[in-house]
Structure 1
Amino acid sequence: MTAALKDVRAVVVDEPGVHRLVTLPRSSPGPGEVRVAVHAAGICASDRELYDGTRPAAYVRYPVTPGHEWSGTVEAVGEGVDPQLTGRKTVAEGFRACLRCDRCREGATSLCTGGYEETGFTRPGAFADSVVLPARLLHLLPDSADLRAAALLEPAAVVAAAVLAAEPRPGERIAVVGAGTLGLLAVQLLAAYSPTRLTAVDPRRPRAEHALSMGATHARTPDEGGVDPAVAAGGYDLVVETAGAPSTAHDACLLARRGGRVVLTGMFEPGAQGIDPVHLSVSQLTVRSVFGASSAAWSFAVRTFGEGLLDPAPLITHELPLSSFGEAVGLVGSGDPTVGKVLLRP
C-alpha cells in the first residue's frame, strides 16, 4: 500500500475561528468499530456555532474534527464486527449513548444520562476522508441508495423524532414553522400522512414556496395570517416548529387550535420568547420538544428514505471540497436565502 493510501485528510478546528486541513495516518478500527469512507458531509448551524465558539462548552471539545451529518461506505471493520459490513453504504447515529442508564434502557437513547458524547463535537467527525466509530451506531442503506442525498439523514432523523412525537393523523390541518432543512424535511414526512392542509410558514417567501414542491399545500409568511382562515383562527391540529428563532416557539403555540399539539424541534438560544402559560393552560395544548434523535427515529428516517417517501436531494444547493471548509461555513452563516444545504465532499 502506498503512503498516499495510508493517509487521510481532515479538517481540524483548534479553537473558535481557527481551522486547518491536516493529513493524518489512516486509523484502524478497534474492537467493535468500523472505518467508513466518507462520501459527503453536511454543514448545519450547529457546526457554525462550533466554529464561532457560541456552542455551549459542555457540547464541544476542542480541538475537534466536525461533521455529524454524513454518509459513506464501510471500508474496514474491527475485531468482533461482521466482515460482511465491508462495502455497505451507511449512515450512523451521532450520539454515543451509554445504553446502560434508565433512559437508554427504555429506548430513549437521545435522553441518555450517561454523559454527552457525539461524533463531530466531542469525537472526531466526518469532515475528513474517513471516520471511525462504533459499529452499533450504523444504519445500513440499500445498495442503490444515493449517498449524496443520504448525507441529510441526520437532520431527517431529528425530524422523524418530531413526527413520531407528534403522532399525525390523516385529515388533520398541519403547519410547519420554518422552511430550512428541518422544515422542508418535515413537510415531506408529514405529507405522507395525508393532511387536508399542510402549510409551510417562513418569513422568506421563496423558502416557504419551496415547500410546495415538497408536499405542502400552502405557503405563507408570518405577516400573512389573514390570508389563511385556519391560521387566523389558530386552527391547526398540529404545529411542528423547526426554526429555533427567538419568537417561533411562542408563535407556534398561537397557530394551534384549542386542544392542539405543538412539537418544538428548533434549537433555541437563551433569551428566546417564552410560551405564554395562560394561553398554554386555557387552550389545553400538548407541547413536546425534540433534541437529537433516538435510535427508533433514525430507523424511521432511514426506512422512509429507502422506500422513497423522503428525498433530501432537492435541499442541496452547494458542494465544496474539504479544502474549502472556511468558505462552506461562511455560506451557512451568510443569511442568503438561496443557500440551502451545503455539503463537503472529500
Structure 2
Amino acid sequence: MTGGGRAVLLERPGAHRIVPAEPVPPGPGEALVRVYAAGVCGSDRELYEGTRAPGYVRYPVTPGHEWSGTVEAVGEGVDPGLVGRKTVGEGFRNCQTCERCRAGETSLCTGGYDETGFTRPGAFADTLTLPARLLHVLAPDADLRAAALLEPAAVAAAAALTAAARPAERIAVVGAGTLGLLAVQFLAASAPAELLVVEPRTGRAEQAVPFGATEVRPPDGLTALTGRYDLVVETAGAPRSACCAVSLARGGGRVVLTGLPGAGAEGIDPLGLAMRQITVHTVFGAPPAAWAYAVRAFGTGLLNPAPLITHEFAWEEYADAVALVGGGDPGAGKVLLRP
C-alpha cells in the first residue's frame, strides 16, 4: 500500500480545500481502491452550491460518486485475488438486512440514506476505501477513463431494465445529457422501429444518432408526435420533461422517469394518466442487477461511454469542473476529475 495522497474536501457549500489524505487501510470486508478518474455530475454541483436536499449530504465531505480505479489492498475476509484488478463500485451503502435490500431493491433501503461522495468520503481523492461487496470488477483491458461513467450507465441500465423494451417498439428518450445518451445505447439494442431523442441542444441531440437514434427533435416541435410512442424514457429532469414524456406516450404506453427536477416542476395530470391508461415507472439510483448489466454491456462493447467525455481536470481545478457542469456551455458533456 503506497502512502500519501490528496483529496478534495468540501467543508461547506462553496468552500473547499485540497488536503493531504493518507489511504485508509481496509478493514474486514473492505477494499482500498486507487482512483483513476471520477465523474462530475449535476448532484455534485448541488453539493457545492448547497442546494442538495437535507438528509442527502453531510458536510464536510469529499465528493465523488462516479469513479473507476484499481484495487490496491483488501481487508480480512476479502478475496486477495482482487488486488490489482480494475474496478468500479456502487455508491449506496445499503444495510443488506431490510426487506427491500433482501428483495434486491437496494436503492430503496429502509435503513436510511448513505452514499459514497455525499454522506461518506468519495472519489475526488487519490484513494477510496469502501465495502468490497460494492465492487464490480472489470476486464484487464478495460478503459478506466470510460469506465468512470459506469455509475450513470448503471442508472440508465436500471431504466432500460424497468422499461423492458421489445423489438419493433416506438421509443422516445427525453433528454440527451449523459444519462440520456447512455439510455439511447441500451434502448437501441432492443431493435426499436423508431428511437426519437428530444433535446433542445442541437449538438447534444445529434450525438445520439451514432448511438442508434433514428430522429432528433427539440421539445418545442413535438405536436405531431403526441401519443405516438410505446415507451418513453425521461432523463432530463427539466421543469416540463416529465409532462413531455407522458404526452408522447400512446394510450396504454409506458413511461420511465429518471430525471430529478427542481422545485416548481410541472406536475403530471393524474386524470390523463388514468384515462389513457399510462403506466409510469420511476428510477432513482441503481440496484446491483443494473450495475452488473451495465458492466457486462461495457465489457462486450454494447455500451460506449467514452465519446461523452469532453473535459478533464485535476483535483486542484475542482471548482472549475463543477462550474462547467450545468453551466450552459453547449460544448460541455461529461466532465472528469483526475488525480
TM-score normalized by the length of structure 2: 0.98
- How far does the alpha carbon of each residue in 1:243-272 deviate from its partner, in whole angstroms, 9 at most, with x for none? 001111111100000000000000122221
Percent identity, aligned pairs only, is 67
SS at match of 2:316: helix
- 1:1-346 matches, within 5 Å, as 5-225=2-222, 231=225, 233-346=226-339
In the alignment of these two chains, the number of paired residues is 339
- How far does the alpha carbon of each residue in 1:174-196 deviate from its partner, in whole angstroms, 9 at most, with x for none? 00000000000000110000001
**CA distance in 1: counterparts of 2:274 and 2:311, whole angstroms:** 44
**CA distance in 1: counterparts of 2:92 and 2:23, whole angstroms:** 23
Unaligned runs of 5+ in 2: none
Q: CA RMSD in A?
A: 1.0
Residue pair 2:23, 2:128 contacting (<8 A) in 1 also: no
SS at match of 1:124: coil
Q: How far does residue 238 in structure 1 lie from its aligned partner after superposition?
A: 0.2
SS at match of 1:122: coil
Amino acid at match of 1:143: P
Q: How far does residue 210 in structure 1 lie from its aligned partner after superposition?
A: 1.1
Q: 138-147 or 24-33: which moved more?
A: 24-33
Q: How far does residue 204 in structure 1 lie from its aligned partner after superposition?
A: 1.1
**CA distance in 2: counterparts of 1:266 and 1:85, whole angstroms:** 34
**CA distance in 1: counterparts of 2:126 and 2:282, whole angstroms:** 34
Residue pair 2:68, 2:145 contacting (<8 A) in 1 also: yes
Amino acid at match of 1:35: L
Q: How far does residue 214 in structure 1 lie from its aligned partner after superposition?
A: 1.3
Amino acid at match of 1:119: T
Amino acid at match of 1:268: P
Amino acid at match of 1:221: P
**CA distance in 1: counterparts of 2:335 and 2:319, whole angstroms:** 12
Amino acid at match of 1:186: A
Q: How far does residue 91 in structure 1 lie from its aligned partner after superposition?
A: 0.3
Unaligned runs of 5+ in 1: none
Residue pair 2:31, 2:75 contacting (<8 A) in 1 also: yes
Amino acid at match of 2:18: L
Amino acid at match of 1:77: V
Amino acid at match of 1:124: P
Amino acid at match of 2:301: G
Runs of 4+ in structure 1 over 3 Å off: none
**CA distance in 2: counterparts of 1:262 and 1:25, whole angstroms:** 46
- How far does the alpha carbon of each residue in 1:152-211 deviate from its partner, in whole angstroms, 9 at most, with x for none? 000000011111111100000000000000000000110000001001101112211111
SS at match of 2:230: strand
**CA distance in 2: counterparts of 1:170 and 1:276, whole angstroms:** 29
**CA distance in 2: counterparts of 1:296 and 1:79, whole angstroms:** 26
SS at match of 1:7: coil
- How far does the alpha carbon of each residue in 1:2-56 deviate from its partner, in whole angstroms, 9 at most, with x for none? xxx4111000000000000001222111111000000000000000000000001
Amino acid at match of 2:279: T
Q: How far does residue 234 in structure 1 lie from its aligned partner after superposition?
A: 1.6
Residue pair 2:170, 2:231 contacting (<8 A) in 1 also: yes
**CA distance in 1: counterparts of 2:118 and 2:307, whole angstroms:** 27
Amino acid at match of 1:161: A
**CA distance in 2: counterparts of 1:197 and 1:150, whole angstroms:** 28
Residue pair 2:7, 2:20 contacting (<8 A) in 1 also: yes
